[in-house]
Amino acid sequence: MITLNHYLFVSGALFALGLAGVVVRRNIIIIFMCLEMMLSAANLALVGFSRFRVTDGLPDYAAQSLVFFTITVAAAEVAVGLAVIVALYRTRQSVEVDTITRMQG
Amino acid sequence: MPSFLFYLFAAITLGFGLNVILARNPVTSALSLAVSFVGLAALFISLDAYFIGIIQILVYTGAVMVLFLFIIMLLDIQKEEAKRANTAAVIGGVVLAVVLTLQVAAVLGVFKEGAITTEQRALSMEIASKREDVAQVKTIQKDLAAGTLPDAKLMGMTLFEQYGFHLQAIGLLLLVGTVGVVVLSKRESPSKPVV
């Protein structure tokens, strides 16, 4: 039977995948995709907790509202982040994070 | 939901999520992420969160991934050469992911409250239709009395009754984001110094 723990494990594994991607990959667009993956993993945990906290026969819609806000903020973040990447590409002609060393100590 | 469907969609979500990291071609990564998000949306729908599931598909696979593909096309990013894999980063990333997954598994192993199924926490439209907050909205009460879950209507009720201010703040955020994107993407004139 599928329990809450199953959903939480999938959420944790998806988060771990995103984290590994951020560390391993050096293409800034892929890193950005992995960030989206981690945000979605958090959403899965929230929706899981929402469904399993039943009050008066209905799931907890406060948690789902939070997921709604997270998705909206993530969409805004993608738009701004990709604009930054485009601006970066204009000055550096590259999307590799290794080439961005100006702020390195 | 039958168990095998959960495992199928969890496998799709995690498998294509893994492919995002492994693929050398950014377009392959982006499309894998889109499929991964569709699997995630199916998991949301399996948790009776129909509205969130549809929003996940519309916003992520519809809008966000198209934006990613558009930028990949615009910047004309070529495949990375395979030889330039940083060994230390790869080992670090894999160890980090494995340790985090094991840690989550260990915590969930002793989390006894999490060993509940959706059947044990069944939704009851009959009880829900007698709720006070629901009684104020006739259309929701009618749906609940008919035995269906009006997910989008309940989300709307929660958002506009309890989180009205937050909703407007999010609207403002989107406006500021739009303006920010325009400012960032504007090509500076050569005479002006780069900010």
Phi, psi (degrees; rounded to nearest 5) at A96: -85, 130
pLDDT given at position B145: 85
Q: For chain B, what are the domain ranges?
A: 124-185
Tokens in use for B14? 């995690």
Query: For residue A76, how many C-alpha atoms fall within 13 Å in the half-sphere facing its CB?
Result: 17
* Distance in angstroms (rounded) separating the CA atoms of residues B23 and B14: 14
The enclosing H or E element of B136 equals none
In chain A, the largest separation of any two C-alpha atoms, in whole Å, equals 57
pLDDT given at position B69: 92
Provide CATH code, domain A4-94.
1.10.287.3510
pLDDT given at position B86: 79
Interchain CB distance below 8 Å, B155 and A68: yes
Q: What would the pLDDT profile of B155-178 be if each residue is shown by its tens digit?
A: 999 999 999 999 999 999 999 999
Average pLDDT of chain A?
A: 91
pLDDT given at position B2: 82
Interchain CB distance below 8 Å, A5 and B108: yes
Say if CB B6 and CB A9 are below 8 A apart.
no
Say if CB A15 and CB A41 are below 8 A apart.
yes
Question: Does A29 contact chain B (CB < 8 Å)?
Answer: yes
Mean pLDDT of A87-95: 85
Say if CB B29 and CB B19 are below 8 A apart.
yes
Q: For chain A, what are the domain ranges?
A: 4-94
Question: Does A93 contact chain B (CB < 8 Å)?
Answer: no
Choose from A19, A66, A68 for mutation: most chain B CBs within 10 A.
A68
- Indicate whether A90 pLDDT > 90: no
Question: Does A10 contact chain B (CB < 8 Å)?
Answer: yes
Question: Does A68 contact chain B (CB < 8 Å)?
Answer: yes
pLDDT given at position B189: 63
- Indicate whether A104 pLDDT > 80: no
Q: Is residue A97 very low, low, confident or very high in pLDDT (cuts 50, 70, 90)? A: confident
Question: Does A99 contact chain B (CB < 8 Å)?
Answer: no
Low-confidence ranges of chain B (pLDDT < 50): none
Interchain CB distance below 8 Å, A16 and B71: no
Interchain CB distance below 8 Å, A6 and B174: no
Mean pLDDT of A21-25: 92
pLDDT given at position A40: 95
Query: Closest-CA residue in chain B for A4?
Result: B114
pLDDT given at position B163: 94
Q: What would the pLDDT profile of A64-89 be if each residue is shown by its tens digit?
A: 999 999 999 999 999 999 999 998 88
